Amino acid sequence: MIEVTVKVPKDVKDIISSTSETLYVEALNQVSFKRIAYLQKQIEEFKEKIKCYENKYQKDYEDFSSNVPDTLEGHDDWIDWTYLVKVTNELSQKIDRLRLLKG
């Protein structure tokens, strides 16, 4: 566990000092809900781009990576496709961690 310190204006401090911990839990739930929705949208956009490469080469990423065409376009596509797959996986992991916050 870590402790988080938040600086707020004095007027806000007076308001939240009388609230229970439940407010903070609910705030974290709302933030994680919105962040998950945003990340899922990004993942869908990346998956659409990945699908374009799969259609272009009629292969999935693993098959393509094991036999990248020896052309400038092939190498450029491999670099872009690798990035898309990596970022999609990282975003999925972030979503999994955010779901832990939601319980």
Averaged confidence pLDDT in the chain: 87
The three-class DSSP label of residue 81 is: helix
Q: Which domain holds residue 86?
A: 36-102
* Residue scoring higher pLDDT (71 or 25): 71
> Do 92 and 43 touch, CB atoms closer than 8 A?
yes
Average pLDDT over every residue of 2-26: 67
79 assigned to some structural domain: yes
47 assigned to some structural domain: yes
Express as a percent the part of the chain with pLDDT over 70.
77
Q: What is the pTM of this model?
A: 0.75
Count of structural domains within the chain:
1
Say what the pLDDT of residue 99 is.
87
The region, left, alpha or beta by phi > 0 then psi within -120 to 50, assigned to residue 22 is alpha
4 assigned to some structural domain: no
